[in-house]
């Protein structure tokens, strides 16, 4: 019988697995990674607990910088946060035009595009609806580049972040699945195409009365995503994904916090969303403006599309300035 190469002691195996992960253990002991996973299941049964991989952690025990980025506010900060743009190749939405105008007017310190800028319809796992024509990846990338260039020019001094959405992730996931041999080659990851933006899964803003977390996917979704996310996170939290717009205010023994949903910078009736088969959508086109004053997050403000070409902002209706 061949000598067993992986550590036989469950505690030793568990320690190494949680320090190295399956791939590194397979390499260290020169075994197939499936052997590692098989023994992991056995050890979990022996110890009566799950073994967790370290892939999302750095040596400090915190998420790696490509997963979580953070900024610290000294006293005051203005953030402009838009989500779920799903930029189309032949149209510009009222929400985007309003976003550019407010970026120019407010000159925010930080701009966050909170996921799903790219729709990725041609690389979706979902089949086409009949004979619909889907834009190519190149066409979508060019549309996103054009829209983001407009934002960059409007507020050139802003610190710019892109928190990854599930649609954005289609780009890397499709290539990693079909062409793993090209890992590391320039252009095979989405961030290679947008060097002016800092990519992450979540952005943490420290220095207010409690952390402010900005991420695409809510902690808990559904119609009550704002409430559930701030309740379960214990922080201020600003999310996208649902295309709903709300600010849920929550107070408990620890103090007060907000659960914010950004809405969508897309038009809810654009062809991208034909998959909804004309069902009613509890979606709102617009975005969020957040101010920190004296290290305290003020009530987040919404910019809401009133009708095509017009948006609501601070008690008035404004017309967008078309090019």
Distance separating alpha carbons of residues 146 and 208, to the nearest angstrom? 34
Q: What percent of the chain has pLDDT over 90?
A: 68
Which of 14-18, 181-185, 300-304 is the least confident region? 14-18
Which run of H or of E encompasses 1?
none
* pLDDT per residue as tens digits for the range 86-120: 999 989 999 999 999 999 999 999 999 999 999 98
**pTM for the structure as a whole:** 0.82
Query: Strands, E, within 188-309: which ranges?
Result: 198-200, 202-206, 212-215, 236-239, 245-252, 255-262, 286-293, 296-297, 301-307
Residue in the block written with tokens 């992450």? 200
**Residue 259 pLDDT > 80, yes or no?**
yes
- Band of the pLDDT at 55, cuts 50, 70, 90? low
Higher pLDDT, 183 or 251: 251
Task: Identify the residue with better confidence: 32 or 165.
Answer: 165
Tens-digit pLDDT profile for residues 271-285: 999 888 899 999 999
Joined tokens for residue 292 = 């920190």
Nearest C-alpha neighbor of 259 from the set 305, 297, 296 = 297
| Residue 56 confidence (pLDDT) above 60 | no
Per-residue confidence (pLDDT) for residue 100, from 0 to 100: 98
Q: What is the pLDDT at residue 1?
A: 39
Q: Take residue 63 and report the two structure tokens written for it.
A: 């998420």
Confidence class for position 266, pLDDT limits 50, 70, 90: very high
Distance, in Å, from the CA atom of 66 to the CA atom of 52, rounded to the nearest integer, reads 19
Kindly report, residue by residue over 228-244, the tens digit of the pLDDT. Answer: 999 999 999 999 999 99
What percent of the chain is modeled with pLDDT above 70?
95
pLDDT: is 303 or 3 the higher one?
Answer: 303
Distance CA 182, CA 184 (A): 6
Residue 144's pLDDT band, with cuts at 50, 70 and 90, is: very high
- DSSP letter, residue 107: -
Residue 200, pLDDT above cutoff 50: yes
Q: Exposure pattern of 177-208 as b/e (b: 16+ CB <10 Å)?
A: eeeeeeeeeeeebbbeebeebbbbbbbbbebb
Residue 121 has pLDDT above 90, yes or no: no
pLDDT the model gives residue 2 = 47
Query: Would you call 36 helix, strand, or coil by DSSP?
Result: helix
Write down the pLDDT at residue 4.
58
Evaluate whether 259 touches 248 at the Cβ level (below 8 Å): yes
Q: What is the pLDDT of residue 71?
A: 96
User: Which residues partner with 84 through β-bridges?
Assistant: none
pLDDT at 107: 98
Q: What is the mean pLDDT of residues 3-17?
A: 83
Mean pLDDT for the chain overall: 91
The answer to whether residues 217 and 241 touch, using CB atoms and an 8 Å cutoff, is: yes
Q: Give the residue with greater pLDDT, 318 vs 90.
A: 318
């Amino acid at each position: 019988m061949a000598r067993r190469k992986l550590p036989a002691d469950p505690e030793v195996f568990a320690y190494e697995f949680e320090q190295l992960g399956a791939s590194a253990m397979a390499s260290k002991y020169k075994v197939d990674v499936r052997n590692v996973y098989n023994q992991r299941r056995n050890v979990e049964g022996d110890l009566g607990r799950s073994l967790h991989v370290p892939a999302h952690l750095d040596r400090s025990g915190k998420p790696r910088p490509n997963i979580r980025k953070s900024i610290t506010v000294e006293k005051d900060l203005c953030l402009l946060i838009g989500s779920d743009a799903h930029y189309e190749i032949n149209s510009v939405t009222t929400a985007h035009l309003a976003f550019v105008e407010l970026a120019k007017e407010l000159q925010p310190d930080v701009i966050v595009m909170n996921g799903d800028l790219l729709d990725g319809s041609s690389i979706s796992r979902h089949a086409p609806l009949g004979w619909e024509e889907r834009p190519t990846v190149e066409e979508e990338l060019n549309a996103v580049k054009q829209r983001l260039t407009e934002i960059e020019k409007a507020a050139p001094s802003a610190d710019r972040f892109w928190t990854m959405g599930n649609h954005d992730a289609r780009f890397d996931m499709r290539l990693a699945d079909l062409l793993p041999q090209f890992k590391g080659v320039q252009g095979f990851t989405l961030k290679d195409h947008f060097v002016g933006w800092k990519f992450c899964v979540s952005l943490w803003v420290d220095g207010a009365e409690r952390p402010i977390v900005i991420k695409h996917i809510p902690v808990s979704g559904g119609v009550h995503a704002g409430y559930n996310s701030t309740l379960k996170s214990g922080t201020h939290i600003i999310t996208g994904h649902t295309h709903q717009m709300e600010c849920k205010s929550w107070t408990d023994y620890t103090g007060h916090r907000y659960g914010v949903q950004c809405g969508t910078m897309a038009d809810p009736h654009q062809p991208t969303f034909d998959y909804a088969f004309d069902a009613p959508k509890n979606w709102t086109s617009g975005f969020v403006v957040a101010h920190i004053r004296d290290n305290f997050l003020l009530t987040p403000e919404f910019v809401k599309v009133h009708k095509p070409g017009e948006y609501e902002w601070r008690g008035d209706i404004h017309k967008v300035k078309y090019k």
